[in-house]
Amino acid sequence: MAVANVKVTTLPAAAGVSGSQCYVNSIPHTWPVANAWLKAFHAWRDQQDAAIELMGAESAVARFRDFKISMEDGMTVGSTANPVNLGPGRLVGPFLPGLKFTNDLMASEDWIASQIVIPNDGAPGVTTEYYLHMVGNSVTTSKGIIHGYEQSRSFPQSPDPASPQVSTSWLNRMHDVGNDSNEIVDNAELNNDELPYDQQNYPGGKLNFINLETQGYNLNQSTVGLNTFNTGPFTAPCGLIRIDINDVISSVSSGAGSRTIVEVTLVPGSHRGYLAETMEEF
């Protein structure tokens, strides 16, 4: 999903605290994300298609069946935010008059995360359903997509080439007529023969860089004024954005709880009115 901008408005911080903070995060834009998503998607779809075909029940497939995943395991047990009306409404002032925060614009509707089914899970006859999340280790109820991807691939040969010490070979020494070439051969053979990444721990998997990608950060240390930050354009893989807020606001903000305002502007396009690319093209 193409995002034109995320505007974060943070109200004044309470006295004596470090400040009101807000992070805007997305799924990382990395090759493990692209490859792992594609492999997990085909495994999920092929599993369902095979079962449907076996029963001859193609007409029973859900109309809006789609591959819906979480960003990380915290999202599978956390909460998702619904949009609210920014006015006109009752005053919250003195800042941001017209802010209406009690009523959602719409219900959450039928957005249900996808699940995979693992038969004989740990014991014969035990069948378990799991949700899926992109970044991080597999947990009790959800499987890590990148973690599963790194476990499904063979290791590239490292070091490459795996060879003896060529510079000590008698064949090499036949051509040593006084200008010692051992150091040159060693450089050609041994420098940059290891993989440029951890072959067992991909970025975003179980142990290596298990964080999301931060698109913007806002900090308001003032106890009297607003602070606004704009991320600018970015793409949100799988259409997911995570907002992390720590906003201990001041009493000046008509304290009725947190009042960090997040406005997301999308890019118009041909996919149901918005600009989006398929994850296959990621």
What type of residue sits at position 214? T
User: Rounded to the nearest 5°, which phi and psi values hold at 244?
Assistant: -105, 120
* Contacts with 94 (C-beta within 8 Å, 6 or more apart), sequence order: 252, 254
Mean of the pLDDT values across residues 129-147?
93
Nearest Cα residue to 212 out of 33, 39, 68: 33
**Domain residue spans of the chain:** 2-158+201-281, 159-194
Is residue 27 classed exposed, middle or buried when 0-12, 13-18 and 19+ CB atoms within 10 A define those classes? buried
Which of 23-37, 114-128, 164-178, 226-240 shows the lowest mean pLDDT across its residues?
A: 164-178
Nearest-angstrom CA–CA distance, 158 and 4: 42
Spell out a b/e string for 38-64, using b for 16 or more CB atoms within 10 Å of the CB, else e: eebbeebeeebeeeeeeeeeeeeeeee
What is the per-residue pLDDT for 162?
72
For the cut 50, the answer to whether the pLDDT of residue 91 exceeds it is no
Give the pLDDT confidence of 179-235 residue by residue, as tens digits. 667 777 777 777 877 777 777 888 888 888 888 999 988 877 777 777 888 999 999
pTM: 0.78
